[in-house]
Amino acid sequence: MSKSLLSILFMFVLFGASAQDINELQSVLHSAGFEQELIFPMSSKEGEIVYMIGVEHRGINNPSEVLTLANSISEKLGFKQNKFVLLYKGQPLYESTIRDNFISSTNLSDTNSRDLFRKFSIKDYRLNIVIDPDIQVRFGSFENPIQSKLSLLIGSDIMLFRGFSLFTGILIPVQNDLDNESNNPKLGPTFFEFFTQVVPNHYAQLSLGLFYNNRYGIDLEYRFFPHAKRFSMGFRYAKTGFYYFPERSIFFDSLDDNLMLINLEYLFVKERISASLDFGQFLQKDQGFKFSLFKQYKNIEVGFFSTITKLGNTSGFNFTIPLFPGKLIRSKSFELRTNDSFRWEYSYSNDGVIGRDFNSNRSIKNNLRRFNSNLLNKY
């Protein structure tokens, strides 16, 4: 099998690229898990055509690996001169070139961006079903020191148009001695989310619906994120209320909790550590500061934080890891996999209200961090 594949690849190398080759490259990239593979010839360099290739891969959480994978496939199929554009929810971030295993990145020009998105089709997205454990643990009760609530969230980010998606899912309770929520399968977080690049390096995300952490409402986030710089900043405003599912019904608390946070972040490139400061008003009108350090590993992020607010002080850690085994089923238009970025946070304080936010696994503050182009060559 692999021999015949190799000989096919060899033939492609011999005969150079053509329109048919672009289709071939698209289909090989697609079967490797890419969901957008937007390819167009840009110019000619030393007799070879330079291609611009927009790629998005939702199953790999490291942009550096996404680029390396796309490049190695393209080179094997005879595409030697490539400029890659990383996409996040279908929106372009920046342009990258790989030479001698070194990735260099620049901003994407408007013309190229327009040309690229003539090739965009929402239908190229797979129905991506993700299995994600939802774990809540409270330590410290004397009678039952580990109170926990374990559920399985089977959810999907359904792409509706470029940058815009509906996340929804089913939450299947496995075990619960933490609270009195019902033990029937129930609706998981369900919300609309729109992500866009306002102008180069400025990003915004707006979400609306039933979020993670039993919060419903509206969530707006803006971020200034120059990909090649060490400093980034942003703000987040959310108006939310509490919701939960008692037996066979849904309960909504009033929508009157304002979250307003400003974030400043600095990346120490060599150490791959981001120092991050959030200040303002957290959930439940708690005001104060949260200082975090995040270290990036190949597919893992580990963070430590300390929070000082009106309600008290706490510290803790969080991590984001890819779950085993990853891809379970993948076809042209469907994929079933475990979460590539499972996020969990532990806080020393039992009360759990000090400096809390919600939906943190969806925030662009956390999700763009790995896209800093200084990090791409540091793993």
Partner 1 sequence: MKFRDFFILIFIFYLFSYTNGYTQVNFLGKPGLVRIPKPSFIDKRDNLQFQLSYLPKDYAINNFMNRKSDEFFYSVQLRPLSWLSVNFVLTRPTDIPRIGIGDRHLDFQFFILNQKKYGVNLSAILSPALAASFIDHNSIFISRSIAISNSWSFEPVFGYGLKDNFRKPPQKSKYENMGYQWISKSEFGNNYLSGFFAGVQIKVKNIFFLSAEYDTQYINLGTSFTILKKIGVHVNYLDLKVITGQVSYKVYLDKSLKRNMNVYE
Residues near partner 1 (CB under 8 A): 2, 5, 28, 32, 59-60, 62, 65, 68-69, 72-73, 139-143, 145-146, 271, 273, 293, 295, 297-300, 302, 304, 321-327, 342, 348, 379
Q: Of the two residues 197 and 314, which places its CB atom closer to partner 1 in the complex? A: 314
Q: Of the two residues 88 and 191, which places its CB atom closer to partner 1 in the complex? A: 88
Closest distance of CB 152 from partner 1, Å: 13
Closest distance of CB 179 from partner 1, Å: 18
Q: Of the two residues 201 and 299, which places its CB atom closer to partner 1 in the complex? A: 299
**Residue 61 corresponds to which amino acid?**
N
Q: Of the two residues 121 and 350, which places its CB atom closer to partner 1 in the complex? A: 350
With a CB cutoff of 8 Å and minimum separation 6, the contacts of 286 are 309, 310, 311, 353, 354, 355, 356
Q: Are 158 and 165 in contact (CB under 8 A)?
A: yes
Q: Which two tokens stand for residue 349?
A: 């304080």
Q: Of the two residues 34 and 242, which places its CB atom closer to partner 1 in the complex? A: 34
Residue written as token pair 């620049």: 106
Beta strands 312-321 and 287-296: pairing type? unpaired
SS3 sequence of 261-325 = EEEEEEEECCCCEEEEEEEEECHHHCEEEEEEEEEECCCCEEEEEEEEECCEEEEEEEEEECCCC
Closest distance of CB 223 from partner 1, Å: 25
Closest distance of CB 129 from partner 1, Å: 17
Closest distance of CB 21 from partner 1, Å: 17
Phi, psi values for residue 178, rounded to 5°: -105, -45
Closest distance of CB 145 from partner 1, Å: 4
Q: Of the two residues 143 and 247, which places its CB atom closer to partner 1 in the complex? A: 143
Residue written as token pair 């937007």: 38
d(CA 14, CA 32): 23
